[in-house]
Structure 1
């Protein structure tokens, strides 16, 4: 059975590349461009992993992560935060994310991190 990943990324180019790459690795992918889209798609169905950008046009990915981790239906789902900001420790502390990946990132490294979390969950 394919693993399902929900990508929340406002940059259309990054979102497209990540989605295309994950599809190539046989993942099923749902993507959202902002917080509003994320909330509309959150339970449609629940994914195996969330990949969330920090800076979004209508909110903050850290708030999305906190929402996921404080929700009984989704708190067990791994969340990887993506950010061009390099303060990983502060981002993890603020969000309760399971992992952090700094932009720009190597796509193979991203997939390796995703697979690590999917195998652990």
Structure 2
């Protein structure tokens, strides 16, 4: 699998997953952020798209866990959020790209294409 979408909002996960699949990507989603470890082991994604702010387990923690683990540190991460300081925060935690919510479909696809090259 190429892409794993992690967000506690099921509608956002479904939307992003549907867009990516329609564009020819192999994508899956996880709406329970605490289950992301199981999904990573099961799917071995090349890219994770995650929200910065999620209930109980935010994107900062997820990113730090992935980047500190020698088995997963190679996985690229695109953070997304509508929070006004989110892009600034994401630059301090080693994400590969940032997507501002709400986003345009074309912007999502072009960022994903660039990260998977």
Structures share fold, TM-score greater than 0.5: yes
Q: How far did residue 78 of structure 1 move?
A: 0.9
Q: How far did residue 32 of structure 1 move?
A: 0.7
Q: Is the 8 A contact 1:7 1:15 kept in 2?
A: yes
Distance 1:22 1:7 in 2: 10
Distance 1:45 1:17 in 2: 19
Paired residue for 2:52? Answer: 54
The correspondence of residues 1-121 of structure 1 with structure 2, limited to 5 A, is 4-87=2-85, 88-93=87-92, 95-119=93-117
Over residues 52-98 of structure 1, what are the superposed CA-to-partner deviations in whole Å (9 max), with x where a residue is unaligned?
A: 111112211111011111111111121000111122122220x2111
- Secondary structure, aligned partner of 1:56: coil
Q: How far did residue 104 of structure 1 move?
A: 0.5
4+ long deviations beyond 4 Å: none
**What is the RMSD of the two structures over their aligned residues, measured on CA atoms?**
1.3
Over residues 13-44 of structure 1, what are the superposed CA-to-partner deviations in whole Å (9 max), with x where a residue is unaligned?
A: 11111111100011111211122221221211
Task: State the TM-score, normalized to the length of structure 2.
Answer: 0.92
Distance 1:35 1:11 in 2: 10
Task: State the TM-score, normalized to the length of structure 1.
Answer: 0.89
Runs of 5+ unmatched residues, structure 2: none
